Amino acid sequence: MHKLYVFPVALICLYLKADTPDLWNQFRGPNGSGVAETYAPPIVPNNKNIAWKTSLPHGFSAPTLSNSYLFLTGIREGRFITFALNKSDGQIIWEAKAPQVALEQVHKSSSPATPTPLVEKDRLYVYFGSYGLLCYNHNGKLLWKKPLPVPKSLYGTATSPISHEDTVILVVDNDKNLEASRLSKSKIYAFNKTDGSLAWETPRPLHRSGWSTPMIWTHNGKQELVVLGNGRLCGYELPGGQEKWHVTGFSRETIALPIAGGDRIFASASKLGGAADVDPDPTPFWKAVINFDANGDQKLVRKEMTGHFTFPFRPELPPGHPGFGMPLPKDVNQRKKRLDGMFYWMDKNKDGFWTKEEFISNLKVGRGKPLLVAIRPDGRGNITESHVDWELNKAIPEVPSPIYFNGRIYMVRSGGVLACVDADNGKLLYRDRLGGLGQYSASPVIASGHLYLVSEPGILSVVKADDSFKVTHQYDLAEEVVTTPAIDRDTIYIRTKKQLWAFRQE
């Protein structure tokens, strides 16, 4: 009898062991890589392989998974909630309300419930910028809570917690200055998983608000915490959190998560305002402005700067979209003053007009450069000159993180442009349009040798992860999507504005 059970039990143990490395337990899955190489969700998502759809309250956190459950956060009636769904049928198993707090102010395109939960074997860690860190077991019982100062941010909190050994690590970058200093209150926290007590913390005095989630870089038998923040990428000793190295050259606003591949680390940030190239094509920017030319003379005068007019940062978006251009005051008088100043600054010859030539010449002023870098390990101090193997200054996304797979880096940017880069030398292998236009906020993920990319308007594109560009399939969700998908063995989960979709391999 016993011999009949030995072989099956051994198979089960091997099965579970093989499953562990790919468990999608944090933002962007295993170590934030976005890659689930051994999993096989549908390559052709369609109506026939929709396993279920479940309505959800407002929130932008991405799904994370245990063996049985799927975890998310949201806001209902002004209260943060954490909830668990059954992966098999999408039924909500439990909900837990966070302590009642005032919700932090966020940009119109963001949400106070943006950080993604972290899943451990028997625990769930949830961060809300408006409150702090909460720890539950998988049945929804609150084990401990850690209130934290609410960070001041231009757009709202977005960073998510990650795990390292017996600690939960959280990067909280903050625009709020100390009363007697220009240094910020930005910090890295490491909390003990057992009770939420502080294990260590590291100040980040040169960092203002940021929206990137950190990752763990393992190389040469060592581990480092890598954090992308405004203006620089930093590496910290583990355990302990002492800063070890940094690379400069990034823009003020950094969002993407760093990724590791081969023996290097890669990090990216667009030009301030979202431009993907050092010298972007000025035509779309001019077209966005000249749409307000009421008399059709191909010039712009101050009285034509009406309605949703503002200086365009992301011309692929429609005027009035919260990400379209420079934010302007709601107060009528302040708004007028800001527009007067904008017009006067752009009208260099003071003839009372913006011409195309005048506008284009001003696009090249300042705002940094878009940047993707490849960094070798074992550096100390400022390693910008000594350990950066290459940099790329075009096709860089603003919000989506890059993804590394089989020696290639893939990046998708707004407008539906996908780029493939040789990770060895930074050479751009292709840059092509997906056909899914509009803004891209969700980061790409990879499974079954394919990229899954979702635009804000809800076009899901499946692209072969290869040196040549090939769209395998597209599906229109017909709902807004800003959240990165999650993957398990045979399913891809996509959170839209109103619900969670599960596409399962038939």
Q: Express each pLDDT in 155-201 by its tens digit.
A: 899 999 999 999 999 999 988 654 444 556 899 999 999 999 999 99
Query: How many whole angstroms separate alpha carbon 320 and alpha carbon 307?
Result: 8
| Whole-angstrom distance, CA of residue 113 vs CA of residue 277 | 31
> Is the pLDDT assigned to residue 275 strictly greater than 90?
no
**pLDDT at 494 exceeding the cut of 50:** yes
Q: Which residue has the higher pLDDT, 77 or 319?
A: 77
Q: How far apart are CA 412 and CA 401, in angstroms?
A: 8
Does position 366 have pLDDT exceeding 60, yes or no? no
Q: Which of 80, 108, 208, 200 is nearest to 151 (CA)?
A: 208
Cβ partners under 8 Å of residue 296, min gap 6: none
Return the percent helix, strand and coil in the chain, to nearest 5: 10, 35, 55
% of the chain surpassing 70 pLDDT: 93
Q: Cα separation of 475 and 491, whole Å?
A: 15
Q: Which residue has the higher pLDDT, 375 or 252?
A: 375
Q: Which of 209, 244, 207 lies closest to 225 in space, CA to CA?
A: 244
- Integer angstrom CA distances of residue 274 from 81, 112, 313, 451: 32, 22, 7, 23
Residue 10 has pLDDT above 80, yes or no: no
pLDDT of residue 321: 82
Query: What's the 3-state SS for 399-411?
Result: CCCCEEECCEEEE
Q: Which pLDDT score, from 0 to 100, does residue 184 have?
A: 66
Average pLDDT, the chain: 90
* Spatial CA neighbour of 363 closest among 445, 464, 280, 423: 280
Q: What is the mean pLDDT of residues 33-58?
A: 96
Confidence of residue 465 (pLDDT cuts 50, 70, 90): very high
Does the structure show a pLDDT above 80 at 1?
Answer: no
How many other CB atoms are found less than 10 A from the CB of residue 175? 16
pLDDT number for residue 182: 55
- Do the beta carbons of residue 503 and residue 45 sit within 8 Å? yes
Cis amide bond preceding 214, omega within 30: no
pLDDT at 17 over 90: no
Burial class of 158 by CB neighbour count within 10 A (0 to 12, 13 to 18, 19+): buried
Q: What is the pLDDT of residues 71-125, one digit of tens each?
A: 999 999 999 999 999 999 999 999 999 999 999 988 888 899 999 999 999 999 9
pLDDT, average across residues 283-300: 90
pLDDT at residue 361 greater than cutoff 50: yes
Question: Which residues, in sequence order, are CB contacts of 264 under 8 Å at separation 6+?
Answer: 374, 375, 376, 377, 389, 423
Instruction: Provide the 3-class DSSP secondary structure of residue 18.
Output: helix
- Collapsing DSSP to helix, strand or coil, 334 comes out as helix
pLDDT at 79: 96
Residue 418 is predicted with a pLDDT of 97
Task: Choose among 375, 115, 119, 373: nearest CA to 224.
Answer: 375
Most confident of 117-126, 205-214, 287-296: 117-126
Checking 133-136 for CB contacts under 8 A at 24+ apart, the result is 133/161, 133/168, 133/170, 133/191, 133/196, 134/82, 134/98, 135/193, 135/196, 136/82, 136/96
Of the candidate ranges 63-77, 426-440, 459-473, the one whose mean pLDDT is the lowest: 426-440
Give tens-digit pLDDT for 416-456. Answer: 999 999 999 999 999 999 987 788 999 999 999 999 999 99
Q: How confident is the model at residue 15 (pLDDT cuts 50, 70, 90)?
A: very low
At 278, the pLDDT band (50, 70, 90 cuts) reads confident
- Give the pLDDT of residue 177: 54
Q: What are phi and psi of 250, to 5 degrees?
A: -80, 160
How far is C-alpha 28 from the chain's CA centre?
9
Q: Which domains does the chain have, with CATH numbers?
A: 22-277+367-504 (2.130.10.10), 283-363 (1.10.238.10)
| Mean pLDDT of all residues in 226-245 | 96
Which pLDDT score is estimated for 437?
A: 76
The average pLDDT across 137-157 equals: 94
224 pLDDT more than 60: yes
Residue 30 has pLDDT above 60, yes or no: yes
* DSSP E strand stretches across 264-397: 264-269, 371-375, 381-382, 388-392
- Tokens 């910290």 label which residue? 236
pLDDT score at 84: 98
Instruction: Give the pLDDT score at 348.
Output: 81
